[in-house]
A and B are shown apart, each in its own frame.
Chain A
Amino acid sequence: MKALVAVKRVIDYNVKVRVKADHSAVDLTNTKMSINPFDEIAVEEAVRLKEAGVIDEIIVASIGPKESQEQIRSALALGADRGILVQTEDKAYPLQVAKILKNIAETEGTEIILLGKQAIDDDNNQTGQMLAALMGAPQGTFASKVVVESNEVKVTREVDGGLQTVALDLPAIITTDLRLNEPRYAKLPNIMKAKKKPLDEKTPADFGVDMTSKQQIIQVEPPADRKAGIKVGSVDELVDKLKNEAKVI
């Protein structure tokens, strides 16, 4: 069984975000970029499935700028086998990404497809679901546990009210949530080996996909500032403020 994992190059989760002065976009100049944390969890899950003997090959794909190679190499260092970079300077919207991934999944015949549930830059939470719909395949989103059996996968999902478990025919699309696993740190020998693993370079045109979206971001604003707060010296003072000043209790 083969697995496909999709990874995205995003701003590092610890970086403080700055909006450009002209309000056109977030300012990414000289910012640290990393693999999307949820995608790293997806790679880790695929590697664990390979270590358990459930899958025998992991293909990692990324749709993005040339520098996304770094994130593919990170995934290869964690244990993926080969990478596919679909290079584009256009903003990668979920529908277009899903169309490319569908093509890769069907060409490669991958039965388990893992994505992070959302990218921490756009926070869309759409790509995995769109991919599943385009493939006519079932999905297990926000996964906190994945159990692969010979012809199905059981996914436990984190939902608003608690946990839900579903059984999915293969091929199936799984999107990862925070508690699915804790990714390992790549060891230096594996980082060195990753440099030699195959990495194919393609473009969206190779998959017949036009990256133009019917959506456009026309403005990006920083959040409204909250009014500065105060330090209170005691519980009595806090209760008084909440009752008489803020009037919330």
Chain B
Amino acid sequence: MAILVYAEHDNVSLKKATLNTIAAAKQMGDEVHVLVAGSNNQAVAEAVAKAEGVSKVLVADNAAYEHQMAENIALLVSDVAGGNYSHVVAAATTTGKNFMPRVAALLDVSMISDVTAVVDANTFKRPIYAGNATATVQTSESKIVVTVRTTAFDAVASEGGSASIETLDDVQNAGKSQFVSEEMAKSDRPELTSASIVVSGGRALGSEENFEKYIEPLADKLGAAVGASRAAVDAGYVPNDMQVGQTGKIVAPDLYIAAGISGAIQHLAGMKDSKVIVAINNDPESPIASIADYYLEGDLFSVLPELTSKI
């Protein structure tokens, strides 16, 4: 039996999350097949075929899959998974989180979300209570459906593989939902969930202009992604896709700089696995100060420009 991995992509290029997911899948079994579902997505299939550790790529290319609508994707994946697969694995991105539970329900099996470690093919670790505890979950399902936290698994190499590519003729259109529109952030900065350095701002920045004036130059100097606390997003200083936290983005970069963030439980849940944490604010009693590797007490509006110039 093989492991079925769902590829994360935008129809044009493969997302790094897929390489982390393949790595997790390899810990569950030797033979990994990757399903690439989308529209005009041939280039993605070819990229996946080159990834290390993939035996076979399955391509489903149809307008019904263009926007990754959960109803259609889940019908396709549960159909394919009904074949000789022991596990179905996707990244715990908003795409994976959206459709995978539908797959599990269609297969009438339970699902394990946000796996951070594979103990064996039936046993997984995952965070609960906003990461304040880690549960070890064992399953006896005949088909094991999981999403994996990409920051917990080192990506496989994107070159060196030569998997076969098979075209699927399986078109699933549930017909009850339609894509209307999207507003996607366009940025030259690295993607938040895979960046090696993240600079995050909190409510103390005070305005959208201050994010641009104080956080962005530092991020640019470091080649970093920009993140934010929930409070900063709620206040409208930055868009929602920058939120780091329990229910926002989970990040684990080499360096996380938290500027003007107090460190609510829910924010810490999203970044406490970062290798090095720097906190800059004017409250040494703040929760984030207690988990920071380096804490600098000071006024953001003088510290940040100074830091930017001295790096």
Contact = CB atoms under 8 A, between A and B. Distances in A.
* Residue picked from B123, B139, B240, B246, most chain A C-beta under 10 Å: B240
Would you list the 4 A-B pairs with minimal beta carbon distance, nearest first?
Answer: A129-B101, A138-B177, A133-B102, A133-B105
7 contacts: A95-B111, A127-B101, A129-B101, A136-B174, A168-B177, A229-B293, A248-B276
Contacts of A168: 176-177
B180 A167 contact: yes
B240 A213 contact: no
Interface in B256-296: 265-266, 272, 275-278, 284, 291-296
B52 to A, nearest CB: 24
Contacts of A120: 129-130, 246
Contacts of A117: 247
Given A130-B105, A226-B272, 10 more contacts: A94-B110, A120-B129, A123-B113, A142-B94, A163-B182, A218-B136, A218-B138, A219-B135, A238-B296, A248-B275
Interface stretch (A1-9, A152-160, A199-207): A152-160
B212 interface: no
A123 B114 contact: yes
B197 interface: yes
Contact of B177 (A166, A213, A218): A166
Interface in A105-131: 117-118, 120-131
Interface stretch (B26-34, B54-62, B159-167, B303-311): B303-311
* Residue picked from B109, B177, B185, B239, most chain A C-beta under 10 Å: B177
B127 interface: yes
Interface residues of B, number: 86
A107 B2 CA distance: 40
Contact of A121 (B128, B180, B275): B128
Contacts of B138: 215-216, 218
B241 interface: yes
Contact of B141 (A131, A139, A141, A214): A214
A21 interface: no
Interface stretch (B43-51, B69-77, B81-89, B203-211): B69-77
A217 B310 contact: no
Interface stretch (A11-19, A49-57, A75-83, A188-196): A11-19
Contact of B291 (A226, A230, A238): A226
Contacts of A239: 307, 310-311
A134 interface: yes
A222 B127 CA distance: 10
B93 A160 contact: yes
B137 interface: yes
B105 A134 contact: yes
Contacts of A226: 272, 277, 291, 293
A98 interface: yes
B241 A217 contact: no
Interface in A15-43: 16-17, 19, 26, 38
Contacts of B112: 215
A161 B184 contact: yes
Given A129-B98, A139-B70, A238-B296, A217 B136 contact: yes
A209 interface: no
A238 B70 CA distance: 46
A124 B310 CA distance: 43
B185 to A, nearest CB: 5
Interface in B131-151: 131-141
A11 B178 CA distance: 37
A246 B176 contact: no
A165 B127 CA distance: 30
A95 B133 contact: no
B62 to A, nearest CB: 18
A142 B247 CA distance: 10
Contacts of B16: none
